[in-house]
Structure 1
Amino acid sequence: MVGRYWAGIEAGGTKWLLAVGGRSGPPLCTCRIPTEDPERTVRRVAETLAAYPLVAVGLGSFGPVGVVPERPDYGVLRATPKPGWQGFPLRARLEEVLGAPVRVVTDVAAAAWGELHLGSGVGLRSLAYVTVGTGIGVAYVERGRFVGGGGHPEFGHIFLPRADGDDFPGACPYHRSCWEGLASGFAVERRTGRRGEELAEDDPVWPTVAHYVAHGLLAVTYAYAPERIVLGGGVGSRPVVLRLVRAKFSALLAGYTSFDAPMHAETYLVPPALGDRSGVLGALALAREEFPA
């Protein structure tokens, strides 16, 4: 195919989303492929994108994954629970088969980038994206850059005040009762014996989940003071969870904040405007930003 193209990839534990586009504008095509073993998945990506001469690729990956370009583990999957993927040099293999540079960020960071530039954060200087799904992750973008340290951030593993009467031991294999261990989709399944999507809106588990999510969002607010928080993921994007979280967050805030935005929970805590495409569109936008030609 004649032309110059950029690609965005959101690499997930069960599926990969791919988007290809020109220098600007909406993607020309998007597709989904299943997550298989590393080499088979990489080959399928190469086959899917073979028709497009690529300038660059943005990759938002599950993790933990190395995200610091100057470090030798950049783009290498580390202690991931995904069988067969631990230690896999994902960035290097993708660059090899695609013949283009690959910019690696976390899947949550790609979603944050997408929402800030194309979704609910357009016009803002800062935004935090919090995903509550199988796991829990947080990414913060300010003035066109990711704010983080020397590796894959793990905000989902902080410890939060217990909900009254909650004696669930937790589901995190490392910390048991961290935020992810108490309120992630995996934790919901362990608590109820059913997947979250099978539970009714009035299931008694949701107020408990909302307790922990609201406390986590309060920590994000006090740590980063973002202009807006986007709450995504299979659990976080449920209307009942967002409604309960907004109410609990406002109660916890108790009128204490150094800026006005958190006082208006309906506009401060919002669902992703790009839906489940925040990550892949953010990865595409990141490739265009960092490799303009």
Structure 2
Amino acid sequence: MMYGSIEAGGTKFVCAVADESLEIIDRVSFPTTTPEETMELVIQFFKGYQDKLEGIGIGSFGPIDIHRNSPTYGFITSTPKLLWQNFDFVGTMKKHFSLPIAWTTDVNAAAYGEYAFGKGKGLSSVVYYTIGTGVGGGAIQEGRFVEGFSHPEMGHMMVVPHKNDSFTGNCPFHGNCLEGMTAGPAIEKRTGKKGQDISPDDELWDMLAYYIAQCAYNTTLMLSPDVIIFGGGVMKQRHMLKKVHQAFEDLMQSYVKTPDLTNYIVTPELEDNAGTIGCLALAKEAKIHL
């Protein structure tokens, strides 16, 4: 008995299969090109395990349609990736695999991975952000994703510019939103360098920490979660978490008494595996609740 995972990112697709205990048996990665090319590789990978698969979990870049009664449920909708706009992802998979398919955003999948097996294990309320090529957020309350007419787009919350920051933002929709100020492309646009090539002593990191701390501040006041997890390449900078903690304390001014920040604002325990593990766990849940 096996479960499948598709972590569908804007740059690459990561596909995996795991056993009943969700131990990964095989994993492959493909560049995200056209739906025709990429999905052909995805389908061929899972065909090799078709006789043993019990379910597949998909965490996709978005926006996506999450409402089961919608005529476009399972579609990637108004994505900036033009070739993928209005693509019927779940329907395409269903043509080849008669299996339960769990469908959510890539960041929701990562949130679920941490909720089930990482820093959120045993907690009732978990919020996860990824700060990398883009910025996205997912929230879980008592095992359910926090959603309404659609899934959250937390990465586009507005932030107050740092007093020393003249950068106007990189988001084509909102300018200086969280993604527009902190994502990898924003760092490159403002400096001409990738984050890993910038000195830890550069003032840029204090500015980014200020924006990420605003995200944690907003999240705390809106949702009061048990933990806020920040993943993605930007947070792999070892000095960032301490800077975010300090900026958060400066912003909060003790207005809300949170858990100790070393346990409250954290990085992922599952690191880059959070999305894959989350998709596998959701696939198993989909099979159980069929």
Residue 68 of structure 2 is matched in structure 1 by 69
Residue 271 of structure 1 is matched in structure 2 by 267
Residue 19 of structure 1 is matched in structure 2 by 16
Please tell me whether residue 280 in structure 1 is matched to residue 267 in structure 2.
no
Query: TM-score, normalised to structure 1's length?
Result: 0.93
Sequence identity (%): 38
One-letter amino acid of the counterpart of residue 31, structure 2: P
Please tell me whether residue 29 in structure 1 is matched to residue 32 in structure 2.
no
Deviations 1:259-285 (A, max 9, x none): 541xx1111111111110100110100
Greater than 4 Å deviation, 4+ residue runs: none
Alpha-carbon RMSD: 1.5
1:260–1:31 CA distance, 2 compared to 1 (3 A): same
Residue 111 of structure 1 is matched in structure 2 by 110
Matches of 1:229 and 1:77, distance apart in 2:
27
Residue 45 of structure 1 is matched in structure 2 by 42
Matches of 1:101 and 1:276, distance apart in 2:
25
Task: Check whether the contact 1:168–1:191 (CA below 8 A) recurs between aligned residues.
Answer: yes
Report the secondary structure of 1:137's partner residue.
Answer: strand
Task: Check whether the contact 1:213–1:245 (CA below 8 A) recurs between aligned residues.
Answer: yes
Query: TM-score, normalised to structure 2's length?
Result: 0.94
Matches of 2:266 and 2:134, distance apart in 1:
19
Please tell me whether residue 228 in structure 1 is matched to residue 227 in structure 2.
yes
Q: Mean Cα displacement is larger for which, 114-123 or 66-75?
A: 66-75
Q: Mean Cα displacement is larger for which, 106-115 or 238-247?
A: 238-247
Deviations 1:29-88 (A, max 9, x none): 222222221011111011111121322111000111112222222221122122411111
Residue 166 of structure 2 is matched in structure 1 by 167
Task: Check whether the contact 2:65–2:72 (CA below 8 A) recurs between aligned residues.
Answer: yes
Matches of 1:7 and 1:71, distance apart in 2:
25
Task: Check whether the contact 1:231–1:237 (CA below 8 A) recurs between aligned residues.
Answer: no
Matches within 5 A, 1:241-280: 241-257=240-256, 260-261=258-259, 264-280=260-276
Matches of 1:25 and 1:193, distance apart in 2:
41
Matches of 1:173 and 1:66, distance apart in 2:
22
Where do 5+ consecutive residues of structure 2 fail to align?
none
One-letter amino acid of the counterpart of residue 280, structure 2: L
Task: Check whether the contact 2:3–2:22 (CA below 8 A) recurs between aligned residues.
Answer: no
The alignment covers a number of residue pairs equal to 287
Matches of 1:86 and 1:203, distance apart in 2:
38
